[in-house]
Amino acid sequence: MGGQRVAPPMDVSSADHSRARNATVRAYERPKIKKPEEDAMISANRERIRKERENMSTALMFSGVTGGIVRKDLLIKDLKKEISVLKDGWQEYDDQCKLLLAQKRDIMKKIKEHDDWCNNFDQLIGPFEAQYDACKATVKESYDFAKGKYKDSLQKLIDDFGYHPAFKRWFDDFQ
């Protein structure tokens, strides 16, 4: 046949007789199981389970009281941890305060040095500043006088020559 495989014929002599064609005809046999009462391991295991259950019931009876005690112990441990963390935080805060106070002292020293320099500068520059103010007053007086003269001369141009400043163009020459 063209490419199909054919299973080899089954050798009945070497095969397991329980698997032979007539195996479904045989009656079901129960596997051999030990009786629990006769086996020492099974009875020991059952005894162990019974004791565990007994211990569990005793533990459940006392668990309310012991649970409260254990809970309080855990709360105490948590509080002790919190206290130690707070102590560490306080120490760190105290160290930072000391550091900031030292920086404040240094800054105050620099401020005092700068104030002394400013006071000395004011004493040294005082006469020059007074002289500058006097020169400024003189210049202002001269400027005010020149401003008045310019106003008078502009008025003379308007009155005598008909000059009109609003119509003056940039390229017009005064004649």
Identify the segments of the chain with pLDDT beneath 50: 1, 15
Predicted pLDDT of residue 152: 92
Q: 171 phi and psi, to 5 degrees?
A: -95, 0
Predicted pLDDT of residue 144: 94
CA distance 138 to 144: 10
Predicted pLDDT of residue 77: 92
Predicted pLDDT of residue 141: 96
Predicted pLDDT of residue 7: 52
Q: 170 phi and psi, to 5 degrees?
A: -65, -25
Give the H or E element holding residue 102: helix 40-161
Predicted pLDDT of residue 1: 47
CA distance 148 to 156: 12
CA distance 91 to 88: 5
